[in-house]
Amino acid sequence: MKVTLSAAVFAILATVAAAQGQFNAASFPPVNAVPPIDSPEVKEWLKDLDFADVPKFALHTGNPPACPALAQIPADQCWWTCQTCPADDIERCTAPGVWGLTFDDGPTPNTPLLLESLKAHNAKATFFVMGSNVIRNAEVLNQEVADGHHIASHTWSHHPLTTLSNEQIVAELKWTEKAVMDITGLHMKYMRPPYGDIDNRVRAVVKKLGYIVVDWTSDDYDSKDFNLNAGFTEATLSAAVTTMSNTLKAYGANPGTQGIITLEHDLYPVTVEFAKRLLPVAAEAKLQIQTIAQCLSDAHGYQGTPPPGKGDGSGNKTGDGDKGPSVVHPDSAGAASMVVSGGLMAAGLAIAGAAIAAL
């Protein structure tokens, strides 16, 4: 009787979960690799895209690409990496005294510590997420959304986009888009190319998918926290925090007419520790921390209308709702285990209770 009852209850919960939508990590391509372009999903995504008006430039090599002599780069390529050419990329917030706080490469198991610190400082950030990490840390992504942070794309595998074909760029962005939508229901609007590696060909492809490109203000506002993971000491960590703190304070003392956008990472324990130590500088420098959507005065930080209960990237919520869809993870034995959101669980248990009473 116990086995039969458990199976019945689980079947009821599974039915309710299916009605709401599930995320299954096993249905996505291998992590940390450029997705193949011959899958049914990518073929479908490519079907209605026309690349005829996309500029044609030779693909670069290297991860990240190495810069050739400037004279060897076509002037109209507008390659941000090597020509410091932003075209219409976002590099600054629109209002002075605003700090556009961004983190790349997550979500990771280290992100929750950062979320705690952001909450303690009443600060909201934009997280440029990697699809490969999204499918392995779905619950963390849901927590970012629940805490009111803004989610944007950082591609699937963190491969430099100027080294990829048009079709591969689509695969990188659309798989990441699908992962985030399956988990949160949010359709991302902003993206940051890995290493900031973008040119006019990549921009043209990205725009066809509805994305707005966000870089960072300048090299001074790249925290270079990523380098700390190579082997840091307390002295090197403190020095890095001091350097970035001084940059922020100097800006705060003379903010000019626009805000700034910084680059940090929630990838490693040391980068999270770096971020935690840097957050108090906002108050010292009289800077207002905002998400990218907020700092651009974009009241609609996602494509389309977010589902009820989700943030819109501007720090607002769109109504009541639970924290996300069901998540199906393959366990070590190859079976599926289900993580069901709070509102869905309550509904499922009510149905299950009625079923049990009828047995």
Per-residue model confidence as pLDDT tens digits over 290-300: 999 999 999 99
The whole-number pLDDT of residue 305 equals 83
Average pLDDT, the chain: 86
- Average pLDDT for residues 117-142, to the nearest whole number? 98
Residue 10 has pLDDT above 80, yes or no: no
- CA–CA distance from 233 to each of 126, 144, 237 (Å)? 28, 29, 6
For the chain, list the domains and their CATH numbers: 1-21+325-359 (no CATH), 28-46+74-320 (3.20.20.370)
Residue 26 has pLDDT above 70, yes or no: yes
- Average pLDDT for residues 47-57, to the nearest whole number? 97
Buried b (16+ CB within 10 A) or exposed e, 263-275: bbbbbbebbbbbb
pLDDT tens-digit map of 201-258: 999 999 999 999 999 999 999 999 999 999 889 999 999 999 999 999 999 999 999 9
Q: Both ends of the chain: CA-CA distance in Å?
A: 10
- Which residue in 247, 248, 242, 250 sits closest to 277, CA to CA? 242
User: How many CB atoms sit inside 10 A of residue 10's CB?
Assistant: 13
- CA–CA distance from 27 to each of 104, 133, 135, 211, 281 (Å)? 24, 14, 10, 24, 43
The whole-number pLDDT of residue 309 equals 73
pLDDT tens-digit map of 305-352: 888 777 677 665 544 444 444 444 433 333 333 334 443 433 343 444
Question: Distance between CA 327 and CA 26 in Å, rounded?
Answer: 11
Banded pLDDT at 355 (limits 50, 70, 90): very low
The whole-number pLDDT of residue 317 equals 54
- Which residue in 163, 158, 162 sits closest to 198, CA to CA? 162
Q: In sequence order, what E strands does 135-184 have?
A: 150-153
Name the one residue in this structure whose structure tokens are 């992100």. Answer: 111
The whole-number pLDDT of residue 307 equals 82
| Residue 90, strand partner residues | 214
8 A C-beta contact, residue 160 and residue 115: no
The whole-number pLDDT of residue 227 equals 94
Tokens representing 271?
């980068």
Name the one residue in this structure whose structure tokens are 């193949």. Answer: 36
8 A C-beta contact, residue 173 and residue 134: no
Q: Which H or E run contains 278?
A: helix 269-278
Q: Write down the pTM of the prediction.
A: 0.84
* 3-class SS of residue 149: coil
8 A C-beta contact, residue 299 and residue 312: yes
| Active-site amino acid positions | 104, 265
The amino acid sitting at 123 is A
Tell me which of 19 and 196 has the higher pLDDT: 196
Structure letter (DSSP) for residue 163: G
